[in-house]
Amino acid sequence: MYRQPAMGDYGSNGYHHHTNHQHSGGGQVAAGHRGRRGSRGRQRRDGSGSNSSASRVYNYYGAQQQEKEEERAPPPPPCTDFDVAYFHSYAHVGIHEEMIKDRARTETYRNAILQHQSHIAGKVVVDVGCGTGILSIFCAQAGAKRVYAVDASDIAIQANEVIKANNLSDTVIVLHGRVEDVEIDEEVDVIISEWMGYMLLYESMLGSVIRARDRWLKPGGLILPSNATLYMAPVTHPDRYSDSIDFWRNVYGIDMSAMLPLAKQCAFEEPSVETISGENVLTWPHVVKNVDCYTVSVHELESITTSFRFQSMMRAPFHGFAFWFDVEFNGPDLNPSNNDTSSFNASSNGYVTDPNQRKKRPNPNEALVLSTAPEDPPTHWQQTLIYFYDPIDVEQDQVIEGSVTLSQSKENARFMNIHLEYASGGRSFVKESVMR
């Protein structure tokens, strides 16, 4: 999390107090899907208010790198009212409680920090979107020389108090501002961030990690997580359809089927974040996008298109598509090159022939994986489902093919437009939705 900075004085640990701005974008985003990551409209962390002035580490460590930064990175994007609302939503403690209580998430990050302790001990770290500061503290406990904990949300105020309470003020410096706007007067060895949104890319927080990388990361530095993979697969979910739709056919003996069109629209117009099991998945998954955090560009994430071809493993009603993701915590030397799908056991079109092979490596100790797949322990991300208004009956071995495009919304870059074209059994369909 990072909020737009304003000028002010630093406390003893370099914390920059942020002057509150009016949140004119207030309710526009906070009531959205990330009422799921808590009410995490998972409006993630990245900016707020006017960006006319920037948080500064007050000449804390010598020579300024401003000229170098300006050469390496384009001007930061403006902070919109949607950004303000996004950061404001992260000031609520419930969102952070939900994330921290997600043991698969939090313990995997802690284990990754310990696994890469040799890259962290005695080194300089940036925690992009630090929230309550827990990952920054893990890095300090692993021996980091210095940790810059950056967050644009007012939760940074509490993070600073947490740092003080744990006697880490000499190590962890809280910067209250957007990562695009704060200044760090030295290169860093490590970037850590829990940037993933629903469907991996919702909220567009990865862009801030990329900007931190391009501004400050030393050549050969470490990024955690290092890689991410977004998957999709056709699913069947009769219980969900029955609960939301078939219910209206007979309500206390009354035929209320006239409600069906509205019920379908309300239940299935937008993506749904919920938990399914491996039994709901009709096919092996398809790789929508591999992301190499060392090389990915902001432009590359603006629109992603992939073609898919599935073959159903059973006869069942086909209710829609599910999306989920994995992230890996490789060191720089183990990181696969960008768009190299070989380490994901995928064919040239991104089709995974065996999902049980997804996470295998020549040496399983080389990489930690945090997975949100249906067959893995549930996380607060759950899975994201795009439901059809009416199911399609498919036979075993029946082919389902088409394409999907995920693009940043022009209305708000933190929203995601989803355009699905799919065909099966001689019929073709189009489904469009927006993840808000």
124-128 and 146-151 beta bridge pairing: parallel
Edge to edge, the sheet with strand 188-192 lists 172-176, 146-151, 124-128, 188-192, 217-224
Tell me the catalytic residues.
194, 203
Residue 303: strand pairing partners? 407
- Say if CB 385 and CB 235 are below 8 A apart: yes
- Say if CB 148 and CB 184 are below 8 A apart: yes
Q: How many CB atoms within 10 Å of residue 400?
A: 21
Rounded CA separation 287/341 (Å): 9
Rounded CA separation 224/418 (Å): 28
- Provide the 3-class DSSP secondary structure of residue 357: helix
Rounded CA separation 331/247 (Å): 51
What letter represents residue 349's amino acid? N
- Say if CB 151 and CB 5 are below 8 A apart: no
303-311 and 399-408 beta bridge pairing: antiparallel
Q: How many CB atoms within 10 Å of residue 277?
A: 12
Rg (CA), the chain: 22
Question: Which of the 8 DSSP states describes residue 379?
Answer: -
User: Quick one: tokens of 114?
Assistant: 């310990």
Question: Which of the 8 DSSP states describes residue 377?
Answer: P
Q: For residue 198, which phi and psi values (nearest 5 degrees)? A: -55, 145
- Say if CB 177 and CB 16 are below 8 A apart: yes
Q: Which of 293, 38, 16, 292 lies closest to 149, judged by CA?
A: 16
- Provide the 3-class DSSP secondary structure of residue 348: coil
Residue 109: its H or E element: helix 103-115
Distances (CA, A) of 187 to 13, 220, 332: 19, 12, 17
